[in-house]
Amino acid sequence: MYCIQVDIPQNICDIDDELKAIYHSKDTVCMWVFITMDTESVQAALSISQHTQRQQS
């Protein structure tokens, strides 16, 4: 496991983990926070992640 120490605001920490998604690539870590766990939000985050990954390849 790799840990990167950062100061994450408490309001982000207080959000239910099911509404947060983390994506990483070789040199980037992204965190999404969803208002609701609807399919469109999840698909949008996955699409962005996949696009970023393709650009870095």
Q: Does residue 19 sit within a domain?
A: yes
Domain span at residue 30 reads: 10-56
Q: What is the pLDDT of residue 39?
A: 65
Q: Does residue 38 sit within a domain?
A: yes
Q: Does residue 5 sit within a domain?
A: no
Q: Does residue 3 sit within a domain?
A: no
How many structural domains compose the chain? 1
Q: Rounded to 5 degrees, what angle do the CA atoms 45, 30, 23 make? A: 65
**pLDDT of 1 over the 70 cut:** no
Q: What is the pLDDT of residue 47?
A: 76
Quote the pTM value: 0.48
How confident is the model over 7-55, as pLDDT tens digits? 888 988 888 887 887 877 777 788 878 777 776 766 777 777 777 767 7
Q: Does residue 1 sit within a domain?
A: no
Q: Does residue 30 sit within a domain?
A: yes
What are the C-alpha distances in Å from 57 to residues 1, 22, 28, 31, 41? 23, 19, 13, 21, 25
